[in-house]
Amino acid sequence: MTSPIRKIYFGIADRHLMFRLFDRHAQRPNRWQNDDSALYTGEWFEIAQAQHDYMLEILPPLWMRGEMFAMREFLTCSITSVFYTLSINGVTRYFHAYCDLSDPRSPYEMRDAIVERERRPVKAMTRGERIEHIWSATHDDYRGYAGADFRPEHRGKRTVIVYGKPGTRFQLLESLTDAQISEKLPVHLRHLPLPEAA
């Protein structure tokens, strides 16, 4: 599994949602038996200043560098939370990201990716961002991981409940149709365009 830098939630996470997003993979099978670094590395989302300041005050940071600080406690291996205070289009905003500190460039590459993504003048969402938002926003009771009901090559992949003529069922998250994605997104995100090809 690869670990691209990816926005996992659209909107500003409040305190409850922030903690939920910290471990949005909590239901994964064999949770403590594998190195799941790739699940987390590169994930980021926006938070409010209150959440940023709260996390800064919990423990002394591992380090502080300009507009960012890293948490002292590691999630897994060399993956930890990095919090950012960034001025984007003249507005101060706050973000959380999981960075792999075994690569010293990771926090800076993350910062640059967040700024590049958030500076876009027109709101747009890629298919991948839509999928990640759906996973992040879906309650644990309505999402899970493919088990014995799925073909062997799909077992362990993320699933969500879909509603349709054959009835309610779990379906692979990655295989949702555009119509199903639209149904699962909040109304204010359904009609955002796909980004224009560069």
* DSSP code string of 95-122: EEEEEETTSTTHHHHHHHHHHHHHT-SS
| Residue 26: other Cβ atoms inside 10 A | 9
| Predicted structure pTM score | 0.85
Q: Enumerate residues 6+ apart whose C-beta is below 8 A from 67.
A: 84, 85, 86, 111
Residue 57 C-beta-side C-alpha neighbours within 13 Å: 6
The tens-digit pLDDT sequence of the chain (198 residues) is 445 899 999 899 999 999 999 988 877 776 656 666 777 889 999 999 999 999 999 888 889 998 999 998 877 778 899 999 999 989 999 999 999 999 999 999 999 999 999 987 667 788 888 999 999 999 888 998 988 889 999 988 899 999 877 788 898 999 998 888 988 888 888 777 777 654
In what side-by-side order are the strands of the sheet with 43-47?
6-13, 43-47, 91-100, 79-88, 68-76, 63-65
Which residue type does 66 have? G
pLDDT of residue 36: 67
